[in-house]
Amino acid sequence: MGGEKCRALTPVAGVLLLAITVVLAASVVTVAIGAPPEPAPATALSLSATDDRITITNQAGDALDADELSVRVRVDGEPLDRQPPVPFFSAKGFHPGPTGAFNAATAGDFAVGESASFRVAATNDPALEPGRTVAVTVSADGLPVARLETVVEPA
């Protein structure tokens, strides 16, 4: 008679073990999926554009890792045909030798108080010309950090 009780408990124990496993797996998946993303760095950037040069200055907040930066430029609402591959030294659509953290030779942290710039070549379209509006989006590791806008000033 004792053997019958043990056999009756075995299926119940198996079902309970399976239920516990399912609940634990579901909670692990929920935690992994629902984990909050890493926040974008908090920084205050400013933008200036003079003739063919675009300059961004880190005025306050976090330093930005130049290797994780992405810069996207629009002129009067139209994206440049070629976007700057930050950091770089020479790239199609740009004059060689960007400055600061945008230059591959000096790239590193784009710290508070530092400026970085690049020059858009005449072969890139639309052209930077005085009076045109330039909008720049800066992202760090895929997360937007700043959306900046200014009017191109004559040299």
Percent with pLDDT over 70 in the chain: 74
User: HEC profile for the chain?
Assistant: CHHHHHHHHHHHHHHHHHHHHHHHHHHHHHHHHHCCCCCCCCEEEEEEEECCEEEEEEEEECCEEHHHEEEEEEECCEECCCCCCCCECCCCCECCCCEHHHECCCCCEECCCCEEEEEECCCCCCCCCCCCEEEEEEEECCEEEEEEEEECECC
Mean pLDDT over residues 77-90, rounded?
A: 96
CB-based contacts of 50, cutoff 8 Å, min separation 6: 152, 153, 154, 155
What's the pLDDT at 108? 83
Name the pTM for this structure.
Answer: 0.75
Mean pLDDT over residues 99-118, rounded?
A: 92
